[in-house]
Amino acid sequence: MSPLSGKRILLGVGGGIAAYKTPELARRLRDAGATVRVVMTRAATAFITPLTLQTTSANPVHTELLDPAAEAGMGHIELARWADVVLIAPATADLMARLTMGMANDLLTTLCLATPAPLCLAPAMNHVMWAAPATIANRDLLLSRGVRLFGPAEGKQACGEVGVGRMEEPSDLVQALEVLFTPQRFAGRQVLVTAGPTREAIDPVRFLSNRSSGKMGYAIASAAAAMGAQVTLVTGPTALPTPRGVTRIEVVSAQEMQDAVLKRIETCEIFIACAAVADYRPIATAPHKIKKKGESPMTLVLERTEDILATVNALPHRPFTVGFAAETEQLEANALDKLHRKGVDMVAANWVGGDIGFESDDNALQVYWMGGQRDLPRAQKPELAYSLLEIVAERFQAKDTQVSTDSRTHKI
C-alpha cells in the first residue's frame, strides 16, 4: 500500500511561476491515495486559477483568511487541525521570510502557525535570490525549527538563467512526502535493483529486445529508497526519470547488465532482479547494416546469455535474492520451479502478455518463498512495490535473525 494512502495533505501554493506545476502535483498526490486540500496565496492566483486546482484536487480551494463558509468562520483552524502534513509548493522567498518571522497576514501563513502537522517547503525562486544572505538565514532558521525543505533543484529557470532555485518536480515531491510517512524498514541497507529491458545488437541499427518499460523496477527502486535503503538501479534503456535518492547505472545489453551488477554485488545486501534480461543474443553482431538479399529467408543464430540472477545466487557470500517470473502460462508452477531451481530467497511472479505486467501502469504479483506465499492483487506499480518490499523486509529480517542465531549456536 502506498504510504500516502489515506493521508490528508494540505497543499499551500505560493505566488511563483512554478505554481503551474501544482495541478499535476495535486493529481499525483491523489493518485497515491491522499486527500488533498489546497490553500493559495493571493499572488498564486495571478499564476494559476483556483478552479484548476479545485478540479485536480477534487476539493474547494481556499484563499481567504476569514472565510464565512467555514465552520465558525475559522477556516484556518479547521484546515490546520485537518492536515497530516502541510506542503508549500512553490515556497517563494517572500513566503519563507514571512514564515521565519511568524507572520499571520494571510490564510496560508496563519495556518502554518496554527498547525501541529509537519511543515514541508519546496522552495522556488531565482538562483540569486536563493543565494541571498537573507534567504540563507531564513532557510537555516526554518530548518532549525524542524521545517523540512525539498529542493530546490538546479537547472534552467523561468527567467532564462541557470542555477539552484527550480522547484522540485511533482514526482520528486510525492516521493519526498512518501519518505515522511514510510517506516524506515531498510535504513542503512544496500539494495541493488535491475530494471527495464536489455537490447542485443544484430547490427549497428537493429536489436532484439522485449516490451519491458522499466516501470515495475523503477517503482521498486523508488520505494526501497523511501524505506531508507541506499539503492543502486542498474537499468536497461527506458524513458523513465531516476527516482529520488537512487543511483542509476545505465546499460544496454545483458552482458553489460551482468558486468554492472557483479561490480557492485559485494556490498549489496538485497538483490532484486526485475529486469527482463534477454535469454539469447545474436552469436555475432554484423559490423554494418545487414542488406536485403532477394526473397530468401534469413537465419539469425542466437546463443544463450548468462543468467545474472543465477550467477549472483551462486556467489559464496550472496545477498538476499528476489527473482521475478514473467509467465504467460502456469504461473504458480513456473514460479515454484524458479524458486527451487535457482535457489533464490523469493520469487515475485506476474502474468504478462495481457493488459498488465509489461508496459502497463498496473501489475499483480504472486510472491513465493520456501514455506510461504502471498498474493498481491492488481494495483498501480508504485503501490505494489511497497507491498512487495514489506514482504521482502519480513523475509530478509527472518533470514538475518536465522543466520545470527545459527552463528551463535556454532560458536557455543
Site for ligand PMT in 207-226 (CB under 6 A): 212-217
C-alpha 120/C-alpha 111 separation (Å) is 13
Q: Let me know if 120 is a catalytic residue.
A: no
- Nearest approach in angstroms of CB 160 to ligand PMT is 37
Task: Find out whether 130 and 123 touch, Cβ atoms under 8 Å.
Answer: yes
Closest CA to 117 of 87, 143, 83: 83
Q: Establish if 236 lies at the interface with ligand PMT (CB under 6 A).
A: no
Which among 120, 125, 135, 122 is positioned nearest to 163, based on CA atoms?
125
Q: Which is nearer to ligand PMT, 307 or 394 (CB)?
A: 307
Residue with cell 499564476: 47
* Of 350 and 366, CB closest to ligand PMT: 350
Instruction: By CB under 6 A, tell whether 384 contacts ligand PMT.
Output: no
Q: Is 275 in the site for ligand PMT (CB under 6 A)?
A: yes
Q: Are 240 and 215 in contact (CB under 8 A)?
A: yes
In the bound state with ligand PMT, the residue whose beta carbon lies nearer, of 134 and 314, is: 314
Judged by beta carbon, residue 32 or residue 195, the one nearer ligand PMT is 195
| Chain position carrying cell 544463450 | 304
Q: Which of 111, 121, 176, 325 binds ligand PMT (CB under 6 A)?
A: 325
Characterize the bridge pairing of strands 346-351 and 35-40: unpaired
Site of grid cell 514455506: 371
The CA distance from 19 to 40, in Å, is 10
Quick one: which of 63, 92, 253, 305 contacts ligand PMT (CB under 6 A)?
305
Q: Does 276 bind ligand PMT (CB under 6 A)?
A: yes
Does residue 259 touch ligand PMT according to CB under 6 A? no
- Given the complex with ligand PMT, which of 24 and 279 has the nearer CB atom? 279
Q: Beta 35-40 vs 85-91: how paired, if at all? A: unpaired
- Please tell me whether the peptide bond between 90 and the residue prior to it is cis, using omega within 30 degrees of 0: yes
Strands (E) located in 98-189? 119-123, 148-149, 153-156, 162-166
Q: Is 309 in the site for ligand PMT (CB under 6 A)?
A: yes
Which of 109, 350, 366, 387 lies at the binding interface for ligand PMT (CB under 6 A)?
350
Length of the chain: 412
Q: Which of 112, 159, 268, 274 is catalytic?
A: 159
Compare residues 23 and 197 and give the one whose CB is closer to ligand PMT: 197
CA-to-CA distance for 197 and 279, rounded, in angstroms? 11
Count residues binding ligand PMT (CB under 6 A): 28
Does position 313 interact with ligand PMT (CB under 6 A)? The reply is no
139 binds ligand PMT (CB under 6 A): no
- Give strand pairing partners of 347: 323, 368
Using CB under 6 A, which of the segments 23-31, 44-52, 156-164, 350-358 binds ligand PMT? Answer: 350-358
* Catalytic (active-site) positions: 159
Residues binding ligand PMT (CB under 6 A): 194, 212-217, 254, 273-277, 279, 305, 307-309, 323-326, 338, 350, 352, 357-359
